[in-house]
Amino acid sequence: MQHKKNDHYLKKLKKHVNDNFQNDISRTTFLNNFDSWPSAKNETWKLSRLGRLSRKEICPLVFSSKENLNFKKVLDDCYTLIFNNGLFIENLSDKLPESIEISLLKIDDLKTFLSSVENFDICSHPTLNISGACSKDIVKIKIKNNSKIKKPIQIIQSGGEKNDSIHPLIFFEIEEHVSVSFLEVFNSGSGLITPLELFKIKKSSKLDFVKIFEDEPETHNLSLSIKIIEEDAFCNCFSLIKGGEFTRFETHAFLRGKNSKFDFNGIYLTSNNNHHDFTSVIYHEVPNCNSSQKVRGVLADKSTGVFQGKVIVKKNAQKTNAQQMSKAILLSDQANSNSKPELEIYADDVICSHGATVGELDENQIFYLISRGISKQKACLILTQAFFSELIEDSVDKLFLETIHSKTKLELNRMLNVNYD
């Protein structure tokens, strides 16, 4: 049975769609697929309960953007695209080279893409259906054939108040023989943000994509990413979750071309009573493909961290190489880390592994550093930084290394109550 306030949000969603997209059957279809928040009975959501969200008084934000936006760039030498309240703000965004093209799509274009990835967990996902029903701008970012984009593209996602829900929707088309890097930063103040991002990465292209989640303390961020990766293409994703009351970043990646590769790496830094979650499903559909999922987390106070990683290897996907590993450090005996790595293999000539560890900082190592004149708090900081360092160095493009190291260190300083440069 749904909570009354959940019912109230559904009524507001329906009114929003009817008022702003009258007689749009495609949007109504998405809306009809969402009748409640997933419950603990749903296997893919039982570790990520949405009870706090169902009790919030939120409603879809009427389409608008602030005239005077204050936003802070993370990178300086880059192309910056500004999104506010889910809308693309062209006049505040940088001029792009001819090899990068931005346009707006129709809701039917979204349905065409989704028809190629029919999957119950995707089709029933609240982010897909809320954003599919409510997004005003479906922004397409296209990188044209044979383009080598030397400067990274920075996307800033902001806006919203605590009683708003906002719904950004972006389609990335990476054409053949492309090399490009993106940095996306979420710093929304909304009660709920449902970013939906679709990727088509074509033959022999390389995409590096870094996400930083640093939303306001009361924000629920339910981010969904769907990727189709073609022959000889490589998609390298890294995410840092350090903000928001509840942040779930869910990725579905379809390896559809021979020799395609997908790396999914992430760090969560969780404190207070917050919930941070990485969920990923990788579908190996053809032979000779590689994937890797590596997640590390540090948890303090009464926080919760989740890693749900799944690899599905189809019968004809021989010579698959798929690796999973989750590691977490608890700084409090009240913190909770949940890991659920899964392998679903139908081929017989594969190399696949998965594992998970949860523990505390090594007291012997802390004692050693203290004996060298270092305070306990600084010793903990040094050890937690070392815990992350290898993953960051191995998986983050050099363009973003300084940014990730800096933000990780600052958040650890706050969590450990230490001021250490």
Which residue, among 72, 235, 219, has the nearest Cα to 143 in the 3D structure?
Answer: 235
DSSP letters, 287-306, are SS-EEEEEEEEEE-TT-EEE
Q: Return the pLDDT at 7.
A: 66
Q: What is the mean pLDDT of residues 228-244?
A: 97
Q: Return the pLDDT at 193.
A: 95
Segment 348-382, tens digit of pLDDT: 999 999 999 999 999 999 999 999 999 998 999 99
Answer whether residue 68 shows pLDDT above 80.
Answer: no
CA distance 178 to 205: 5
Answer whether residue 4 shows pLDDT above 60.
Answer: no
The ranges assigned to domains in the chain are 4-257, 362-421
> What's the distance, CA 348 to chain centroid?
32
Q: What is the mean pLDDT of residues 209-228?
A: 96
Which DSSP state fits 90? G
Q: Which of 72-81, 223-232, 233-242 has the lowest mean pLDDT?
A: 72-81
Which residue, among 184, 190, 201, has the nearest Cα to 235 in the 3D structure?
Answer: 201
For 371-384, the three-class secondary structure string (H helix, E strand, C coil) is HCCCCHHHHHHHHH
CB distance 14 to 31 below 8 Å:
yes
Ranges of beta strands (E only) in 111-270 are: 138-143, 153-158, 164-166, 169-174, 179-186, 192-193, 196-201, 206-213, 220-229, 234-241, 246-255, 261-270
Q: Return the pLDDT at 41.
A: 87
β-bridge pairing 79-84 and 153-158: parallel
Q: Is 356 exposed, middle or buried (0-12, 13-18, 19+ CB in 10 A)?
A: middle
Containing 27, the helix (H) or strand (E) segment is helix 25-32
Q: How confident is the model at residue 2 (pLDDT cuts 50, 70, 90)?
A: very low
Q: What is the mean pLDDT of residues 43-69?
A: 81
What are the b/e assignments for 385-420, b being 16+ CB within 10 Å? Answer: bebbeebbeebbbebbeebbbebbbebbbebbeeee
Amino acid making up residue 33: N
The residues, any chain, with a CB within 8 Å of residue 386's CB and separated by 6 or more, are: none
How many other β-carbons are positioned within 10 Å of the β-carbon of residue 316?
11
First to last CA, the chain: 51
Q: How confident is the model at residue 67 (pLDDT cuts 50, 70, 90)?
A: low
Segment 311-334, tens digit of pLDDT: 999 999 999 999 999 999 999 999
Q: At what angle do helices 107-114 and 25-32 cross, to 10 degrees?
A: 50
3-state SS of the chain: helix, strand, coil percent to 5? 25, 40, 40
Amino acid making up residue 264: F
Q: Return the pLDDT at 49.
A: 82
Q: Return the pLDDT at 6.
A: 58
Mean pLDDT of all residues in the chain?
A: 92
β-bridge pairing 100-105 and 138-143: antiparallel
Answer whether residue 261 shows pLDDT above 80.
Answer: yes
Q: How confident is the model at residue 420 (pLDDT cuts 50, 70, 90)?
A: low
Q: Is 318 exposed, middle or buried (0-12, 13-18, 19+ CB in 10 A)?
A: middle
CA distance 130 to 139: 16
Most confident of the ranges 25-34, 96-105, 118-127: 96-105
Q: Return the pLDDT at 3.
A: 43
How many other β-carbons are positioned within 10 Å of the β-carbon of residue 333?
7
